[in-house]
């Protein structure tokens, strides 16, 4: 298992995290982790992120009840991004959508 110090951080000390649903394989959201969020996620099995807007640790689902239960966590080949595979309770997006990725820019090409 990698420690947080073995990951490559952005200048602000954060690592981007892509979160994917275990059952549907849908990409649910993108967020960031600092060392505290990383450690809490591994310790509790619940996804913790770092909220840049609130400047604090954020337990996903704490206010909405839409928790994310960690199934597996991977670092990419450069160790500068994480992929969290989760069991999602309810919606992942703060808008109430299942996934944060619902704004089409260019859809499937033939």
For each of the domains in the chain, give its residue range(s) and CATH number, in order of start.
Answer: 4-88 (3.10.20.810)
Q: What is the pLDDT along the chain (110 residues), one digit of tens a residue?
A: 899 999 999 999 999 999 999 999 999 999 999 999 999 999 999 999 999 999 999 999 999 999 999 999 999 999 999 999 999 999 999 999 999 999 999 988 87
pTM of the prediction? 0.94
- Alpha-carbon distance 41 to 32, whole Å? 12
Asked whether the beta carbons of 19 and 91 are under 8 A apart, the reply is: no
Asked whether the beta carbons of 106 and 75 are under 8 A apart, the reply is: no
- Alpha-carbon distance 81 to 79, whole Å? 6
């Amino acid at each position: 298992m990698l420690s947080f110090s073995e990951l490559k951080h952005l200048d602000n000390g954060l690592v981007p995290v892509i979160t994917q649903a275990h059952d549907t394989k849908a990409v649910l959201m993108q967020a960031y982790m600092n060392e505290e969020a990383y450690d809490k996620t591994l310790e509790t099995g619940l996804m913790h992120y770092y909220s840049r807007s609130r400047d604090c640790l954020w337990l996903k689902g704490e206010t909405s009840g839409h928790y994310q239960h960690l199934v597996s966590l991977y670092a990419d080949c450069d160790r500068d991004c994480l992929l969290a595979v989760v069991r999602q309770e309810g919606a992942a997006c703060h808008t109430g959508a299942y996934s944060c990725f619902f704004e089409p820019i260019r859809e499937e090409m033939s």
